[in-house]
């Protein structure tokens, strides 16, 4: 027995191909293509049917409904007709992007790529996605929602392909939104998916920038902040190698060499400032208690690990009021918890053992001993 849903899809696809043919043939009436009038008339009903069925309880119906949406985008070439329902389309595609069924997921990704490929203007889509990634819309700050919107964004970027002019104006806000994504819980599987997808989107942006559009200094800084967050993920996430490729690609793009230190040097102070921007006189810890969000602390660790040499060059700035030193000293103080002290001692050890960094710390040896080493020579509950 034939599948009725498949029959509907075939009929819709056939009709849309006919409509698309009329558009390309240029048949007009009163200056308006016949096909445009036809699509304007039937599109609301087709969209309502497809959007309703994307929430069907069977994976087969969900997949084929998303495929009908894709057919509309690919064949009717009438993106402006989709604008009134774009928010609904995005919402349904987001559902598909975290669907448990792989076929539905693949269909949603393909549909989003079609939206990027055939849409005349990506601005409406970006206005829907970017605020959600920035956390400006309540209810969309969970790993599940962030993951779905990241998948949707990556699909749109890939779909836009060589349309550099389409993407170029959206690069700064996209990169700014990406840098705000952090790991919520270092042991949560959904966060692994978020960071994997963040890395993939950054790589998509980098790949497209090589041929389609330019990434300016501010966007480069934002992507580097993303790289710090990815680098800060636990090794079990398995993202280190991919992140190294991202940094290497950025380095080739910005300074024609694969040297991460050369890439980071002009941005080191800004990256350090972005890590410490939330510190105040009252709350001057990046990580104070075990239950705190440690993402900025982990980002600081990652920044030092990526280039200990630059950490040494920027160890003391403004007579000790700026640079790496105050951060290290504060987190090795007597009132820091053992877990934080142990982590920061690891950072300091890495700096002292690096041949490019250690010589630059020699002149600061008295300060290091007095403020970092001596306070932690006393045994504390067997932890330090």
Going by pLDDT thresholds of 50, 70 and 90, the confidence category of residue 18 is low
- The sign of the dihedral angle between the CA atoms of 229, 234, 240, 242 is negative
Residue 358 placed within a domain:
yes
β pairing state of 32-33 and 28-29:
antiparallel
Residue 271 placed within a domain:
no
- The sign of the dihedral angle between the CA atoms of 103, 105, 107, 109 is negative
Q: What is the pLDDT of residue 351?
A: 92
Going by pLDDT thresholds of 50, 70 and 90, the confidence category of residue 77 is very low
> C-alpha angle with apex 173: 307 to 224, nearest 5 degrees?
5
Question: How confident is the model over 1-9, as a mean pLDDT?
Answer: 53
Are 253 and 286 members of one domain?
no
- Of 383 and 212, more confident: 212
pLDDT at 43 over 70: no
Residue 116 placed within a domain:
no
- Domain that residue 320 falls in: 279-384
Query: What whole-number distance in Å separates Cα of residue 371 and Cα of residue 365?
Result: 10
Q: What is the pLDDT of residue 304?
A: 92
Query: What whole-number distance in Å separates Cα of residue 337 and Cα of residue 331?
Result: 9
Beta bridge partners of 317: 322
pLDDT at 75 over 80: no
Out of 123-132, 248-257, 287-296, the most confident range is 123-132
Are 337 and 368 members of one domain?
yes
Residue 201 placed within a domain:
yes
Going by pLDDT thresholds of 50, 70 and 90, the confidence category of residue 25 is very low
- Of 348 and 80, more confident: 348
Least confident of 87-96, 165-174, 251-260: 251-260
Are 244 and 181 members of one domain?
yes
Q: What is the pLDDT of residue 86?
A: 81
In the chain, what percentage of residues exceed pLDDT 70? 75
Residue 44 placed within a domain:
yes
Domain boundary (97, 112, 143) is at 97
Going by pLDDT thresholds of 50, 70 and 90, the confidence category of residue 188 is low
Q: What is the pLDDT of residue 212?
A: 59
Q: Is 60 exposed, middle or buried (0-12, 13-18, 19+ CB in 10 A)?
A: middle
Going by pLDDT thresholds of 50, 70 and 90, the confidence category of residue 73 is confident
Count H helices, E strands: the chain?
21, 2
- DSSP assignment of 308-353 equals HHHHHHTSSBTTTTBSSHHHHHHTTSTTS-HHHHHHHHHHHHHHHH
pLDDT at 111 over 60: yes
Question: How confident is the model over 139-164, as a mean pLDDT?
Answer: 81
- The sign of the dihedral angle between the CA atoms of 105, 106, 109, 115 is negative
Residue 7 placed within a domain:
yes
Q: What is the mean pLDDT of the chain?
A: 78
Give the tokens for residue 375. Answer: 């306070």
Give the tokens for residue 363. Answer: 């002149």
Are 126 and 248 members of one domain?
yes
Cα-Cα-Cα-Cα torsion 183, 186, 187, 188, nearest 10 degrees, comes to -10
Q: Among 97, 122, 120, which Cα is nearest to 108's?
A: 97
Are 283 and 367 members of one domain?
yes
Are 2 and 64 members of one domain?
yes
Are 176 and 75 members of one domain?
no
Going by pLDDT thresholds of 50, 70 and 90, the confidence category of residue 211 is low
Are 51 and 147 members of one domain?
no
Say if CB 58 and CB 101 are below 8 A apart: no
Are 341 and 233 members of one domain?
no
Q: State the total domains in the chain.
A: 3
**What does DSSP assign to residue 233?**
S
pLDDT at 338 over 90: no
Domain boundary (97, 131, 158) is at 97
Are 136 and 223 members of one domain?
yes
Q: Among 305, 306, 323, 321, which Cα is nearest to 361's?
A: 323
Residues of 101-140 as b/e, b for ≥16 C-beta within 10 angstroms? eeebbebbbbbbbbbbbbbeebebbbebbbebbbeeeeeb
pLDDT at 66 over 90: no
Widest pairwise Cα distance in the chain: 89
pTM of the model: 0.78
Distances (CA, A) of 162 to 36, 78, 153, 203, 206: 26, 20, 16, 15, 13
pLDDT at 39 over 50: yes
Q: What is the pLDDT of residue 2?
A: 54
Residue 297 placed within a domain:
yes
Question: How confident is the model over 82-100, as a mean pLDDT?
Answer: 82
Q: What is the pLDDT of residue 347?
A: 92
Question: How confident is the model over 126-148, as a mean pLDDT?
Answer: 84
Going by pLDDT thresholds of 50, 70 and 90, the confidence category of residue 46 is low
Query: What whole-number distance in Å separates Cα of residue 109 and Cα of residue 97?
Result: 7
Are 252 and 294 members of one domain?
no
| pLDDT tens sequence across 267-312 | 999 999 888 887 776 777 887 776 777 778 888 999 999 989 999 9
Three-state secondary-structure class, residue 28: strand
Query: Which residues have C-beta within 8 Å of that of residue 48, sequence separation ≥ 6?
Result: none
Query: What whole-number distance in Å separates Cα of residue 30 and Cα of residue 28?
Result: 6
Three-state secondary-structure class, residue 214: coil
Are 156 and 195 members of one domain?
yes
- DSSP assignment of 121-181 equals -SHHHHHHHHHHHTT-STT--SHHHHHHHHHHHHHHHHHHTT-HHHHHTTHHHHHHHHTT-
Question: How confident is the model over 38-56, as a mean pLDDT?
Answer: 67
Residue 274 placed within a domain:
no
């Amino acid at each position: 027995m034939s599948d009725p849903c498949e029959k509907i899809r075939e009929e819709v696809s056939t009709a849309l191909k006919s409509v698309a043919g009329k558009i390309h043939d240029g048949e007009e009436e009163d200056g308006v293509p016949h096909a445009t009038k036809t699509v304007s008339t039937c599109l609301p009903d087709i969209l309502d049917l497809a959007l309703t069925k994307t929430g069907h309880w069977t994976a087969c119906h969900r997949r084929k409904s998303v495929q009908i949406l894709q057919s509309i985008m690919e064949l009717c070439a009438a993106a402006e007709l989709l604008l009134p329902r774009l928010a609904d389309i995005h919402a349904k595609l987001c559902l598909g992007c975290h669907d448990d069924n792989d076929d539905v997921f693949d269909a949603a990704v393909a549909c989003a790529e079609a939206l990027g490929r055939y849409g005349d203007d990506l601005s409406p889509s970006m206005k829907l996605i970017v605020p959600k990634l920035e956390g400006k819309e309540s209810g969309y700050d969970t790993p599940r929602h962030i993951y779905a919107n990241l998948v949707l964004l990556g699909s749109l970027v890939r779909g836009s392909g060589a349309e550099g002019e389409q993407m170029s104006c959206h690069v700064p806000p996209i990169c700014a939104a990406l840098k705000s994504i952090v790991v919520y819980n270092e042991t949560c599987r959904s966060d692994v998916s978020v960071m994997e997808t963040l890395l993939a989107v950054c790589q998509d942006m980098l790949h497209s920038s090589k041929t389609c559009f330019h990434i300016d200094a501010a966007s480069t800084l934002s992507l580097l902040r993303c790289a710090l967050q990815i680098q800060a993920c636990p090794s079990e996430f398995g993202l280190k190698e991919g992140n190294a490729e991202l940094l290497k690609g950025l380095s080739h793009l910005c300074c024609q060499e694969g040297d991460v230190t050369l890439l980071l040097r002009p941005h080191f102070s800004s990256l350090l400032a972005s890590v410490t921007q939330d510190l105040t006189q009252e709350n001057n810890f990046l990580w104070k208690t075990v239950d705190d969000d440690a993402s900025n602390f982990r980002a600081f660790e990652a920044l030092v690990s990526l280039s200990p040499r630059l950490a040494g060059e920027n160890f003391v700035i403004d007579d000790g009021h700026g640079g790496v030193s105050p951060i290290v000293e504060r987190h090795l103080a007597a009132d820091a918890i053992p877990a934080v002290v142990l982590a920061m001692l690891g950072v300091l050890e890495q700096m002292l053992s690096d041949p490019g960094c250690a010589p630059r710390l020699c002149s600061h040896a008295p300060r290091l001993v007095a403020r970092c080493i001596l306070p932690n020579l006393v045994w504390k509950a067997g932890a330090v």
